[in-house]
């Protein structure tokens, strides 16, 4: 049989679909009193800061350096904080879990789609629980709080939904960010409902609430908007808000939930899981941890063209399946047509 290649049209929809996260201010003792929580509004902060970054030309000239240091560094941007007299942040979002991992959203090759469906359907039936365990762990540990998680006195995560007979509650600090799974019974219960959603055994929407005790009137960290070519002298930092309420992008929450890749080769050196990405890219470090030998497309084709089940190890299969859940567009142009 001729080896399969990637079709020119190939796309997958996300199967974990978080909403944007909305931020509220309240007291730790009022966790169970939803009516007492107030939405956090953004405000502007303007400061006269000190310059601390200079180019090499200035650093070589002491006179120029002194001139630059004397100039004010004016800072103008959005900010957000808890209300005076309140000590806890509540971040709330919903999470929809969608089935159909084995079905591409778009594919213009029947032969490819047939083999893909066969191989991935078998994986979903037998092995996808590993991924559900990891997504559940990242909900329990509150990774999606990002900077709001750092230094908090206490963090409680609550998960509810029609698929759960009762709400689940987690002490986020009991689950390490350096690990990807846990044998905790509550995490196992959450994993089971996520698994049922991925398999299509039920339509699943979860409500997730994180409570982080940060301290009275402490600053909180919504998502930052990307603003290209901001005019000099204008506001330089724009934070995300929804209808006047500080918020976190759904993409940022999703990135945290899919930070489950501890299968990449350098994990033993870094000991940090990374987000599921086609080439293992981590933009903050400027590194792509997956080369052209163990990237998504290479491993997917190796799996679909495998003559024996052992052609891919279990870790590689989990990575490929997690990429399918992440979603994206992965078609490749027809090289023969391109030559013409």
| pLDDT score of 216 | 98
Q: How does DSSP assign 9-70, residue by residue?
A: SEEE--SEEEPPEEEEEE-GGGTT-GGG-EEPPPEEEEEEE------HHHHT-HHHHHHHHH
| CA distances from residue 336 to 44, 112, 199, 215, 292 in whole angstroms, order as listed | 55, 18, 38, 62, 22
Give the side-chain half-sphere CA count within 13 A for 56: 0
| pLDDT score of 337 | 45
| CA distances from residue 148 to 162, 220, 319 in whole angstroms, order as listed | 28, 6, 28
In tens, the pLDDT along 8-37 reads 999 999 999 999 999 999 999 999 999 999
> Is 0.75 surpassed by the pTM of this model?
yes
| pLDDT score of 332 | 84
Q: Is the confidence at residue 306, as pLDDT, over 70?
A: yes
Convert 273-311 to b/e letters by CB count within 10 Å (16 or more is b).
Answer: bbbbbbebebeeeeebbbeeebbbbbbbbebbeeeeeee
| CA distances from residue 211 to 77, 88, 93 in whole angstroms, order as listed | 26, 7, 12
> In this structure, what DSSP letter does residue 221 have?
-
Domain ranges across the chain: 10-42+82-333
DSSP-derived pairing of the beta strands 241-242 and 245-248: antiparallel
| pLDDT score of 171 | 98
In tens, the pLDDT along 190-208 reads 999 999 999 999 999 999 9
Rg (CA), the chain: 23
What value does the mean pLDDT take over residues 220-242?
85
Q: Is the confidence at residue 295, as pLDDT, over 90?
A: yes
Place of tokens 């957000």: 80
Nearest CA to 93 out of 166, 35, 148, 21 is that of: 21
Q: Is the confidence at residue 118, as pLDDT, over 90?
A: yes
Q: Is the confidence at residue 81, as pLDDT, over 90?
A: yes
Helices of type H across 90-239: 110-126, 129-140, 185-199
């Amino acid at each position: 049989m001729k080896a399969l290649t990637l079709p020119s049209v190939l796309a997958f929809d996300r199967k974990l679909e978080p909403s944007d996260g909305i931020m509220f201010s309240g007291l730790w003792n009022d966790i169970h009193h939803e009516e007492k929580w107030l939405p956090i509004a953004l405000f502007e902060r303007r400061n006269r800061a000190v310059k601390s970054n200079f180019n090499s030309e200035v650093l070589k000239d002491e006179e120029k350096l002194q001139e630059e240091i004397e100039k004010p560094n004016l800072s103008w941007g959005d900010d957000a904080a808890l209300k005076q007299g309140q000590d806890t942040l509540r971040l709330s979002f919903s999470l929809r879990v969608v089935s159909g991992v084995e079905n591409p959203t778009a594919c213009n090759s029947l032969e490819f789609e047939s083999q893909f469906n066969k191989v991935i359907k078998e994986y979903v039936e037998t092995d996808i629980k590993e991924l559900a365990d990891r997504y559940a762990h990242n909900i329990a540990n509150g990774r999606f709080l990002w900077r709001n998680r750092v230094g908090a006195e206490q963090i409680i995560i609550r998960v509810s939904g029609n698929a759960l007979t009762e709400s689940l509650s987690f002490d986020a600090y009991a689950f390490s960010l350096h690990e990807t799974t846990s044998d905790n019974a509550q995490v196992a219960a959450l994993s089971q409902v996520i698994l049922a959603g991925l398999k299509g055994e039920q339509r699943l929407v979860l409500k997730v609430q994180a409570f982080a005790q940060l301290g009275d009137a402490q600053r909180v960290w919504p998502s930052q908007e990307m603003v290209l070519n901001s005019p000099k002298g204008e506001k330089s930092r724009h934070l995300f808000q929804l209808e006047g309420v500080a918020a976190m992008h759904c993409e940022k929450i999703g990135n945290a939930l899919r930070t489950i890749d501890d299968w990449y080769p350098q994990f033993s050196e870094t000991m940090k899981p990374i987000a599921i990405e086609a080439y293992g890219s981590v933009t903050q470090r400027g590194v792509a941890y997956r080369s052209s030998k163990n990237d998504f497309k290479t491993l997917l084709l190796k799996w679909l063209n495998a003559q024996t089940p052992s052609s891919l190890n279990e870790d590689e299969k989990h990575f490929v399946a997690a990429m399918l859940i992440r979603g994206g567009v992965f078609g490749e142009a027809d090289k023969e047509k391109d030559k013409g």
